A and B are shown apart, each in its own frame.
Chain A
Amino acid sequence: MTHPEALIEIKDIHKSFGKFNVLNGIDLTVRKGEAVCIIGPSGSGKSTILRCMNGLMPIDRGTIRVGQHQVHSLKTEKAMRPLRHQVAMVFQQYNLFPHKTALENVMMAPIQVLGHDRAEVEDRARKLLDKVRLGHKADSYPGQLSGGQQQRVAIARALAMQPDVILFDEVTAALDPETVKDVLFNIRELVEEGLTCVLVTHEMGFAREVSHHVCFTDHGKIVEDAPPAEFFANPRDPRTREFLGQVL
Chain B
Amino acid sequence: MMTAQLSYDAKKKSVLFLLAAAVVVWIIVDAATGGDEHWARVGVRLPLLLTGSGDGWPVTGGFILNVLLSIASMAVATALGTIMGIATLAQRAVIRLPAFLVMNFLRNSPWLVLLFAMLYIIPYEIRVFGMVIPFPPFMKAVIGLALPTAANFSEVIRGAVQSIHSGQWEAARSLGYSTRQIYMHVILPQAFRRMIPGWMNLYALLMIATALATVTGIQDVLTILNTSLAMESERALVYFYLTVLFMFFAYCYPIAVFARRLERAVKGDNI
Cβ A113 vs Cβ B170 within 8 A: no
Complex alpha-carbon distance, A93 and B269, angstroms = 16
Q: Which residues in B have their C-beta under 8 angstroms from that of A85?
A: 176
Q: Which residues in B have their C-beta under 8 angstroms from that of A91?
A: 167, 170-171
Q: Which residues in A have their C-beta under 8 angstroms from that of B165?
A: 93, 95
CB distance from A107 to the nearest CB of B (A): 12
Cβ A112 vs Cβ B190 within 8 A: no
Tell me, yes or no, whether B178 is within 8 Å of chain A by CB.
yes
- Which segment of B36-44, B155-163, B181-189, B230-238 sits at the interface? B181-189
Cβ A56 vs Cβ B185 within 8 A: no
A89 to B, closest residue via Cβ: B174
Tell me, yes or no, whether B271 is within 8 Å of chain A by CB.
yes
CB distance from B195 to the nearest CB of A (A): 14
Cβ A95 vs Cβ B181 within 8 A: no
Tell me, yes or no, whether B109 is within 8 Å of chain A by CB.
no
Q: Helix, strand, loop or mixed for chain B's interface?
A: helix
- Which segment of A76-84, A119-127, A187-195, A214-222 sits at the interface? A76-84
Tell me, yes or no, whether A108 is within 8 Å of chain B by CB.
yes
Q: A97-B168, A98-B190, A98-B271 are in contact. Are A84 and B175 (CB under 8 A)?
A: yes
Cβ A112 vs Cβ B270 within 8 A: no
Interface size on A, residues (CB 8 A): 29
B166 to A, closest residue via Cβ: A95
27 contacts between A and B (CB under 8 A): A56-B173, A77-B173, A81-B178, A82-B176, A84-B174, A84-B176, A87-B174, A88-B174, A88-B175, A89-B171, A89-B174, A91-B167, A95-B170, A96-B171, A97-B171, A108-B175, A109-B176, A112-B177, A113-B175, A113-B176, A113-B181, A141-B271, A142-B271, A143-B269, A157-B175, A161-B175, A161-B176
With A84-B175, A88-B174 given, name 12 new contacts (CB 8 A).
Answer: A78-B178, A81-B176, A84-B176, A89-B171, A95-B167, A98-B271, A99-B189, A99-B193, A113-B175, A113-B176, A114-B176, A142-B271
A residues sitting closer than 8 Å to B (CB atoms) are 54, 56, 77-78, 80-82, 84-85, 87-89, 91, 93, 95-99, 108-109, 112-114, 141-143, 157, 161
